[in-house]
Amino acid sequence: MTKMPKKAYHYDVKILPERPKKFYRHAFEQFRVDQLGGAIAAFDGRASCYSVDKLKTDSKNSEVSVKDGQGRVLTYTVEIKETGDLEVDLNSLHNYITTRIFDKPMRAMQCLEVVMAAPCHNKAVRSGRSFFKTSEPGERQELEGGYEALVGLYQAVVLGDHPFLNADISHKSFPIAMPMIEYVERFVLKSKVNTTTSLENSRRLIESFLKGLDVIYTPPKSFAADSRVYKVNGLSRSPATSQTFKHESTTTTVADYFGSRNFKLQYPQLHCLHVGSLTRQIYVPIELCQIDGGQALNRKDGATQVANMIKFAATSTNVRRAKIMTLLKFFQHNNDPTISRFGIKIASDFMMVDTRTLRAPEVEYQGKRMCKPRNGSWRMDTMKFLKAEPKAHKWAIVYHDTPQGRKISYSQVSDFERQMFTHSKSVSINLEAKAEIRTFKDDRSLDECFGDLKRKQCDLAFVIIPTFGASYDVIKQKAELQHGILTQCIKQFTVERKLNPQTIANVLLKVNSKLNGINHKLKDEPRIKNAMFLGADVTHPSPDQREIPSVVGVAASHDPYGAAYNMQYRLQRSALEEIEDMESITMEHLRVYRQYRKTYPDHILYYRDGVSDGQFPKIKNEELKGIYAACSRVGIKPKVCCVIVVKRHHTRFFPNGEPSQYNKFNNVDPGTVVDRTIVHPNEMQFFMVSHQSIQGTAKPTRYNVIENTGNLDIDLLQQLTYNLCHMFPRCNRSVSYPAPAYLAHLVAARGRVYLTGSTRFLDLKAEYEKRKIVPEFMKTNPMYFV
């Protein structure tokens, strides 16, 4: 970037009419050539443009004409004017190294983001920061249900020792461009459409796919009209033969209307698409419609779709690297006139960085028996859990007994009981020799069953979730919000088909934690004494469910090893990033800590998950303020270290070498740390890969330290963070980020479970009060949520 000018100019762009926005770029491009004399300017596609030359802002005739995909001419007026803060200091990208922690040259970075995107828009479909290349015939990667997976180039300008372009690949599902009849045949009916085919029974499936999608309607030749793009609302109520609408002064059916204009529908018995404005009756026959290509949707993928996508996307580091290089060659940034005018050139290969590998901690079990993790995991073999409650626990097995659906046999249930008892003894969990085996038929009888087990002081109920019937969410709501009884759910399919020693061992890891046991601790004593490990996460609803609140999950340790945790959850307004109620949450965690440890913590190590870079100051000003306020209320002044856990970035490490039998995806070793070159020189920041990636390229976690009143040394903090990745109670592996943050994620997920079945949330405080966990249960089994 040595040839980059010292400044650029930032202009406001106004384009009218406001719809359709998808042709704004074409309109601006036309305006740039006609009115700006071809001056080089980078346009963001909405309302801003940047140029290293001063632009004319006094164009008289600012009307431009562009063609849409169907050849129709659209007319726009384009105006540009200087922004209030016209000059962008590009020099700040070189001298930011000496500036304060949060004073990043944001304006210069925003300018470069727009510039770097210039070559991508004409060749690809944009979604977020990624540009997806549409598939060529013969190379389509179909998922299911009418979707395909496209590979895109993700790019972002990031700051390290220098400004860097962070390039990666991303994957997203897109609806396949195809005629509607083909969609119905291949993905709905799985058979050919004929003159007797009806869509009545497939309505829900079709509408869930089509709603909000753009389709191209091509009128018959006899209409002598151009094709049109419409947004789909759903299917018509009736088939074309009986679906009526008002035409001029008469009411007619869709089929008759087309017949009157010399076109006989081939499939008049099919429903039509209701398109365009919801208030108008525009019905178009399915046979004349085609799904438009390249539509980036804000939708949640289905479970099978996700599984297929993961299979497609999981590649070794070498393959991923090659894919990135192929996409960079395809977009040819260095040949783009806009990028060249800004004096930018992209290097032809990846950055080389120095790495360090931290030593994995030894894991300690009962009787001071030790285990050494290898490549991110370890085996318990004949080890017993470090601590388990000595009393024999009363336990029950509850299963669904119904004539409908597939019923589990009693012999399978008693086999489950026998295996669970035998294996629990071998790891030192003390269960009574016999479980009480109970059945339930519906939600009401499940209620009665839980009530009865509670009266009998049952310590744990294994609930076999039926293939059809009561769901996990209903079971957890009844057990934890109504009765206060500890449950361990297991799917009927797992009991019938997958009941092997490994499965039972995994279930017992959770059971021991729920029953206040400690599975293991680390041999290395924590180097900061009397510390409370705090983890927090906020889960937001998907973009199409904005009426559902966000759920806050906070977990805090209350033992000397960072192994036993308690939880708090809250509801807050949708999409709010920072936790509003941090003071009361921290008060509760401090109270529990004192109850167990007979003292308050000297250190609070706070791992905060789920925060974007721009939100760091808010976390510092609001959440940390809440933590300090709670400490002040109980009269303590602990040292606070706040570490932001960032997973949503696209930095990847590609080691030299080839995949091997022990490392088939050629990833870096667990414990690999990078804290130079690609991190901000003035911020306490590091990347760490703490886990072994089971499939695909390992994603490092980035840690940003935004508060450190105890002046913890960076080496100590890195080792402590790595150690905490070995303390997740659900598995004998080192996980990808520290246990407190991982457990907070489980807490937030559990909070979301409590919302299932409700759609209206008017008063969040009242809604939370209705969903409070039984207090006595929280006290007796603080880790019930694992």
CATH value at residue 251: 2.170.260.10
Same domain, 452 and 541: no
* Residue after which a domain boundary falls, among 291, 326, 356: 291
Q: Residue 475: inside a domain, yes or no?
A: yes
Q: What confidence tens digit (pLDDT) does each residue in 8-37 have?
A: 999 999 999 988 888 999 999 999 999 999
504, 561: one domain? no
Residue 429 lies in a domain: yes
CA gap 126, 296 in Å, rounded: 8
Residue 586 counted as domain residue: yes
**149, 143 contact by CB (below 8 A):** yes
DSSP class of 121: T
| 401 and 538 fall within a common domain | no
* Domain-embedded: residue 574: yes
> Rounded distance, CA 697 to CA 668, Å?
9
pLDDT at 468: 79
Q: Are 643 and 605 in contact (CB under 8 A)?
A: yes
Q: Which of 739, 731, 741, 786 is nearest to 373 (CA)?
A: 731
Report residue 170 as tokens: 């991303």
If you ran DSSP here, which 8-state letter would residue 102 be given?
A: T
Nearest Cα to 360, choosing from 386, 378, 343, 384?
Answer: 378
State which of 262, 291, 320 marks the end of a domain.
291
For residue 743 the two structure tokens come to 């457990």
**Residues 108 and 207 reside in one and the same domain:** no
- 51-85 b/e (C-beta count within 10 Å ≥ 16 → b): bbeebeeebeebebebebeeeeeeebebebeeeee
pLDDT of residue 19: 81
Which residue's structure tokens are 């006595």?
A: 776
Reduce the DSSP state of residue 418 to 3 states and report it: helix
- 598 and 725 in a single domain? The answer is yes
What is the C-alpha to C-alpha distance for residues 372 and 365, in angstroms, rounded to an integer?
11
Task: Supply the CATH number for residue 738's domain.
Answer: 3.30.420.10
DSSP 481: I
Q: Are 437 and 546 found together in one domain?
A: no
**Where are any strands of DSSP class E within 479-602?**
487-491, 521-522, 531-539, 550-557, 565-572
Q: What is the dihedral of CA 478, 481, 484, 486, to 10 degrees?
A: 60
Q: How many domains does the chain have?
A: 4
Q: How far apart are CA 561 and CA 530, in angstroms?
A: 10
Between strands 487-491 and 460-465, the pairing is: parallel
How far is the C-alpha of 634 from the C-alpha of 637, rounded, in Å?
9
Q: 481 has which bridge partners?
A: none
Place of tokens 């306490």: 684
Phi–psi pair at 342, nearest 5 degrees = -85, 5
| Shared domain check, 508 and 457 | yes
pLDDT tens digit sequence for 774-783: 999 999 999 9
Paired tokens of 594: 């004192």
Same domain, 73 and 37: yes
Position 225 in a domain: yes
* Residues 398 and 490 both lie in one domain: yes
**Of 129, 127, 166, residue with least CA distance to 149:** 127
CB-based contacts of 374: which residues, under 8 Å, 6+ apart? none
Q: Which helix (H) or strand (E) holds 746?
A: helix 739-753
Residues 84 and 106 in one domain: yes
CATH number, domain containing residue 461:
3.40.50.2300
Instruction: Determine contact, residues 105/157, Cβ cutoff 8 Å.
Output: no
Contact 535, 739 (CB under 8 A): yes
Left if phi > 0, otherwise alpha if psi is -120 to 50, otherwise beta: which for 745? alpha
CA dihedral 246, 247, 252, 258 (to 10 degrees): -140
- Please name the residues in contact with 195: beta carbons below 8 A apart, sequence gap of 6 or more: 266, 267, 269
Residues 718 and 754 occupy one common structural domain = yes
Calpha distance 452→502 (Å, rounded) = 32
d(CA 347, CA 349): 6
The answer as to whether 376 is a domain residue is no
* Within-domain flag for 521: no
> Residue 99 — φ and ψ, nearest 5°?
-90, 175
Domain boundary among 235, 258, 291: 291
What is the pairing mode between strands 639-646 and 603-609? Answer: parallel
In a domain, 169, yes or no: no
Both 652 and 770 in a single domain?
yes
What's residue 559's pLDDT?
96
Q: How far apart are CA 116 and CA 126, in angstroms?
A: 13
Segments of the chain scoring below 70 in pLDDT: 1-2, 97-103, 137, 403-406, 525-526
What range does the domain containing 422 cover?
388-514
